Amino acid sequence: MSHAEFPASHTPLAAPVQGEPYLLTPGPLTTSRATKEAMLRDWGSWDADFNRVTAEIRQQLLAMAGVADDSYACVPLQGSGTFSVEAALATAIPRDGKALILMNGAYGQRAAKTLDYLGRAHIALDKGDYLPPQPDEVDALLRAHPEVTTVFLVHCETSSGILNPLRELAAVVKAHGKRLIVDAMSSFGAVPLTVDEVPFDVLVSSANKCIEGIPGFGFVIIRRDLLEESAGRAHSLSLDLLEQWRYMERTGQWRFTPPTHSVVAFHAALEQHAAEGGVQGRLARYTRNRDVLVAGMRELGFETLLEDRWLSPIITTFFSPEHPAFEFKRFYDELKARQFVIYPGKLTQAESFRIGCIGQIDEPIVRQLLRAIAESLQAMGVTLEKTAA
């Protein structure tokens, strides 16, 4: 395969392969040309060069989380992000422990379902589709349920796009002396999250979100003493995080066949992440994408699900217009014909759709998207009343 198949881009960011759409989805997402090119080579899973790549990734992820000593371990695990969440829950919650799940969307619900499979007791604070859990509510629940050992929180609930008040909630959890598991899947790498500011015990994320790699593995950053005390707790051979870590520490290799191409692509993506200015650089670009998107969509007459203060720089939910000619499937197809793939909504009540701000997307591409949306509405015969801002 020659590099000529990846055409030069028309913006400072690499365009997707010619004719293919931009993925405005929260992972898989549009990756850079350099990240795609990193996959043009095959790697032996036992090879020293590949092991070095794995070691560097683990070290860089710990640094991104602000870990400066060996108090935390980084354990990569094959599979999508959910596999890592499941492994983390099984590792961090004792079999006779009890979890409090802070729930405001699909990923909190998935954690509860996972605990049902694992046979771990749990209670939930369920805020519905999009309201943030409040620190005083969590405080009251932990007072009423002193038997809770562990609190689980989704940082950015990707199903609505809300950025939950992690810092305030973490402070309450720690004031009660409980353990905190953060699903930072869709935020890590773009929203600052370091141990000195957020005293988490476990953080879970994956390759194909804000670090802009391709799917294939997730990773768990976990307090080492918590990991080491988990011996015998795992319910699953392949999801045994402690064994995965021990094997990697001992041999430098993954315990079972690693997603080699995904790993080297992630290594390249991390290099670009650093070159962009790390977490702050990425946050700035995604925030700009979000601001241009939201302003442009409001200008077209769309409304956001969330108030401005809860909007994440990751993904935004818009209500589907009431207009009789608006149909999501048709809107999707019109946009795809114009090289943009968006995401259906995940609300239980209202009709909605979502647009991601992450991946190799920048302001000129967002402006191009806004033009494509205006054209699509016109093609569908949908006219919108502009809402007063």
Ligand X SMILES: *Cc1c(COP(=O)(O)O)cnc(C)c1O
Inter-residue contact 201 to 226 (CB < 8 Å): yes
Residue type, 366: V
Peptide bond into 364 cis (omega under 30): no
Asked if residue 130 lies in contact with residue 276, where contact means CB atoms within 8 angstroms, the answer is: no
Shortest spacing between CB 186 and ligand X, in angstroms = 4
Please enumerate, by residue number, every residue annotated as part of a binding site for substrate: 354
In this structure, what token pair is assigned to residue 389? 């801002």
Q: How many binding residues for ligand X (CB under 6 A)?
A: 13
Residue (29 or 141) nearer to ligand X, CB:
29
Sign of CA dihedral 354, 358, 359, 365: positive
Q: CA-to-CA distance for 187 and 193, rounded, in angstroms?
A: 9
Binding-site residue ranges:
354
Would you count residue 16 as binding ligand X (CB under 6 A)? no
Q: Does 154 bind ligand X (CB under 6 A)?
A: yes
334 belongs to the binding site for ligand X (CB under 6 A): no
**CB 304 → ligand X: shortest distance, Å?**
18
Q: How far is the CB of 118 from ligand X (least distance, A)?
A: 16
* Among candidate residues 140, 206, 210, the one with its CA nearest the CA of residue 175: 140
By CB under 6 A, residue 80 contacts ligand X: yes
Q: How far is the CB of 82 from ligand X (least distance, A)?
A: 3
In whole angstroms, the minimum distance from the beta carbon of 337 to ligand X comes to 26
Q: Read off φ and ψ for residue 179, nearest 5 degrees.
A: -85, 150
Among 9, 45, 82, 339, binds ligand X (CB under 6 A): 82
Question: Which lies closer to ligand X via its Cβ, residue 89 or residue 382?
Answer: 89
Question: Does 304 participate in binding ligand X (rule CB under 6 A)?
Answer: no
Q: Closest Cα partner for 188 from 213, 155, 144?
A: 155
Q: Is 158 in the site for ligand X (CB under 6 A)?
A: yes
> What binding mask, one character per residue, do residues 179-198 give for ligand X by CB under 6 A, x or -?
----x-xx------------
Nearer to ligand X, 60 or 187 (CB): 187
The conformational region for residue 288 under phi > 0 = left, psi -120 to 50 = alpha, else beta, is alpha
Among positions 22, 30, 62, 81, the unique one binding ligand X when judged by CB under 6 A: 81
Q: Which stretch, 8-16, 78-86, 137-145, 248-256, contacts ligand X (CB under 6 A)? A: 78-86
The residues that bridge with 343 in the sheet, in sequence order, are 354
Write down the least CB distance from residue 315 to ligand X, Å.
8
Of 200, 194, 226, 263, nearest to 55 by C-alpha is 263
Distance between CA atoms of residues 333 and 95, nearest Å: 47
Contact 370, 310 (CB under 8 A): no
Does position 103 interact with ligand X (CB under 6 A)? The reply is no
Contact (Cβ atoms closer than 8 angstroms) between residue 326 and residue 382? yes
The verdict on 359 binding ligand X (CB under 6 A) reads no
Closest to 15 in 3D by CA, of 32, 36, 34:
32
CB of 218 to ligand X, least distance (A): 7
- Residue showing the smallest CB distance to ligand X in the complex: 81
107 binds ligand X (CB under 6 A): yes
- Residue numbers of the site for ligand X (CB under 6 A)? 26-27, 80-82, 85, 107, 154, 158, 183, 185-186, 206
